Amino acid sequence: MNNLKRISFFSISFVICAICALMLTSCDWPWSKKETTYTAASEFYWSSDAGATYGNRTKEYVVGEDVYMQLILKVEKSKGDDEKVGVTLSIPYITDVASKYMDGQIITPEVDDLNHVTTYNFTVIAKPGANETNFVFKFVPVKATDITITLVFDDKVDSIYDKQNTITFKDAE
């Protein structure tokens, strides 16, 4: 009987140690579900040659002349299936000429004439190991001023990934 107690004690100890080891190695136990997290990266690029080439240096444009802007986004999630994430891009003091996903899908802006802001609402796909998504915006500045372009992700993505970019619209010389 003494041997049976010893075997039971060692068996129970082994099971407890195994469970602890599995918990420490972060296995997905039902009671230890980790929250899905999202990260985002974004870059603004500008073209001064009608969209033939893009760079991130020139940030001064003439009122009344076309401006080309390329936006590159990537939203990754820590786990799970593909999911749509909403994105809002706001640009003040412009007239929209064309805006689209790189694949040609048109993005229709909302124009607030009272506040002079053009807003683009669109989606990107978030997934583990996500690829970059490219967007092209063509617009015409309507007022000489410094403007701040604002990029905001929906509530799934932490606001630390939202971005602002300032450029200058100037009168022709």
Between β-strands 163-170 and 60-62, what pairing exists: parallel, antiparallel or unpaired?
parallel
The Cα 157–Cα 93 span in angstroms is 27
Supply the pLDDT for residue 159. 96
Q: pLDDT (tens digit, 9 = 90+) per residue, 152-166?
A: 999 999 999 999 999
In the block, tokens 């195994």 appear at 18
Supply the pLDDT for residue 34. 74
Closest CA to 124 of 73, 164, 49: 73
Contacts of 99 (CB under 8 A, 6+ apart): 106, 107, 108, 109, 120, 135, 136, 137, 138, 139
Q: Under a CB-based contact definition with an 8 Å cutoff, are residues 70 and 136 in contact? A: yes
Q: Under a CB-based contact definition with an 8 Å cutoff, are residues 75 and 122 in contact? A: no
pLDDT tier at 82 (50, 70, 90 boundaries)? very high
Q: Mean pLDDT throughout 116-130? A: 95
In the chain, % of residues over pLDDT 70: 81
Supply the pLDDT for residue 30. 56
Q: pLDDT (tens digit, 9 = 90+) per residue, 104-121?
A: 899 999 999 999 999 999
Domain regions of the chain by residue span: 2-32, 38-170
CB neighbours (10 Å) of residue 133? 19
State the fold for domain 38-170.
Answer: Immunoglobulin-like (2.60.40)
Q: pLDDT (tens digit, 9 = 90+) per residue, 7-24?
A: 565 566 655 655 655 555
Supply the pLDDT for residue 6. 55
Supply the pLDDT for residue 108. 95
What sign does the dihedral 16-17-20-26 (CA atoms) show? negative
Q: pLDDT (tens digit, 9 = 90+) per residue, 20-70?
A: 555 555 555 555 567 889 999 999 999 978 888 999 887 899 999 999 999
Number of H helices, E strands in the chain: 1, 10
